[in-house]
Amino acid sequence: MKTIAVCIVNYNTRDLLRACLHSALAENPDEIVVVDDASADGSAEMVELDFPSVKLIRLNENIGYGAASNRAVKHCRSEHILLLNGDTVVKPGALRCLSRYLEACDSAALIGPRILNPDGSPQTSCFHFPTPPHIFLYLSGLYRLIPRIPLLRKFSFQKASAGSAGAVPWVLGAALAFRRETFEVLGGFDESFFMYFEEVDLCYRASRQGWQVHFVPGAEIVHVGGASTEQERGGMTLQYFASLAEFYLKHYPRHYLVGLILMVKTFAFFRLMRDILLMQATRDSKQRSDLQTDRTVQRDLIIGRWSRRSHGGTAVPV
């Protein structure tokens, strides 16, 4: 059996990180590395005090998920690596299942387990690459109708609930396993993606170089989801679309990017009009606060405040 490390990137999820570390230690990995992205909730101190066997890397600033993941990989020596979000829990047997799969399947550069919600229901674990039709279905809300409309079913990726392992376009970065050697050949994560789409970019580059990405449902990971970004919902929405635009700029023809920008701004305009009408119709303070936040986000999307200059990424022309 190859040596395997668990690498965890954490940002302000102290209590969830504690549960993650307990579950990872129960799997007896050869090493565990935690990169703390300048958390302000005592996460790093908790790791130091409660988990002395864990290698802790404390950063002075939040450098983003991809960059922090690259740091984690550089600080471990194992042949196989499972990269985790801090808000995950490793189910029994998952670590060795993923390691055995990597050892048996040379064509798979990156593999992802089945992702579960805390209640045990399946999260979508793997997806199509974000082409314009997929983004249109997402922005319009029509993706909810995919199961009911045969014409749209080709845009749904149902592998997340399938029982067999196999090749998929890309898997969720909340739990991603790979061989260290292959990760280094691919160049690791592109650090210009501060947050979101870093795993999509990595999987896309792997496929372009002749590798495969596999979904491995025999291994299961519980993922809370959004724990480190919930307090900054508006900013994270802008970051999501900024990273999506950067992915388009990097990998797709220029007219795809132009179409994406027009599509995002158009749907943002209609959402803004909806929010204005709802604001006038409601007296509920919580709903008004949520609508005000959404209004600000939609306005910023319309006027183009979603480039990534503040994080040192490519300045996407919007």
Neighbours of 51 (CB within 10 A): 18
pLDDT at position 279: 78
Tens digits of residue pLDDT in 163-188: 688 999 999 999 999 999 999 999 99
Q: What is the mean pLDDT of residues 100-105?
A: 96
Which one is predicted more confidently, 256 or 160? 256
Tens digits of residue pLDDT in 269-306: 888 888 888 878 777 777 777 777 777 888 888 887 66
Q: Is the pLDDT of residue 150 over 50?
A: yes
Q: Is the pLDDT of residue 142 over 90?
A: no
Residue 77 one-letter amino acid: R
pLDDT at position 158: 52
Tens digits of residue pLDDT in 58-82: 999 999 999 999 999 999 999 999 9
Give the fold, CATH level 3, of 4-223: Spore Coat Polysaccharide Biosynthesis Protein SpsA; Chain A (3.90.550)
Q: Report the chain's C-alpha Rg in angstroms.
A: 20
CA distances from 276 to 19, 49, 269 (A): 42, 50, 11
Pairing of strands 212-223, 55-58: unpaired
pLDDT at position 117: 95
Spatial separation of the C-alpha atoms in residues 48 and 53, rounded to whole Å: 9
Closest CA to 260 of 317, 315, 299: 317
